[in-house]
Amino acid sequence: MSDAAIYSKQGFGARSGFGQRAALLVVDFVNGFNDPDMFGGGNIPQAIANAQGLLAAAREAGAPVCFTRVVYADDGSDAGVFRLKAPTLGALTESSHASQVVPELAPLAGEYVLRKTQPSAFFGTDLAGWLAFRRVDTVLVVGATTSGCVRASVVDSMSYNFRTVVVADCVGDRALGPHEANLFDMGQKYADLHESADVIAWLRTHEA
């Protein structure tokens, strides 16, 4: 029996669908995660390239846009267990080049740039309230890495009862095995998977 058949037999893989108003969450598409000598590699550059059209469509539709950055204090005073597991994350400070959003997706004035020290964009931040204030019921997720901060953000998005869409060609990982496994698992349990072309088409019929 295939993996998909096992999950289907047990009742996984249903669709949560789109709601009425979406926001775009751009998770950690920063220079350090686009650099194979730091945290990048794999299919991350292609995911960034694919996300450009989606970001343009979200802006055109008037959808709220939030970018996340991993940012630690220069002196390491806010470091925790995540830094114990991945000490090199300490290079991601407020002023470091590695922690800046990639120029291809540079935030515009009025778009939210959220700093975080944990994998999830929601943990210890005001993101859920920011989305609720803007009447968002659907979170479109792009970013890096699929198996790390994207997955953690997707699970928390669903846990806050946001309909959650992973834009499959706009998320990337340093290694393809974890990328593919986590895409499959998120699609079975936490989110709907869509290609960017489908999401762009939806956005064009749901302008804010």
Query: What is the DSSP-derived secondary structure letter of residue 148?
Result: I
Domain holding 198: CATH number? 3.40.50.850
DSSP string, 162-202: -EEEEEEEEEE-SSHHHHHHHHHHHHHHT-EEE-HHHHHHH
Flag whether 35 is in a domain: yes
* Residue-number span of the structural domain to which 121 is assigned: 18-203
- Among residues 102, 149, 168, 171, which one is catalytic? 149
Domain total in the chain: 1
Instruction: Look at the block and give the residue holding tokens 């806050």.
Output: 160
Mean pLDDT of the chain: 97
Flag whether 51 is in a domain: yes
Flag whether 73 is in a domain: yes
- Whether residue 34 is predicted with pLDDT greater than 90 in this model: the reply is yes
Residue 170 annotated among the catalytic residues of the structure: no
Which residues make beta-bridge pairs with 24? 65, 140
CB distance 204 to 61 below 8 Å: yes
Write out pLDDT tens, residues 53-111. Answer: 999 999 999 999 999 999 999 999 999 999 999 999 999 999 999 999 999 999 999 99
Q: How far is CA 176 from the centre of its chain?
A: 17
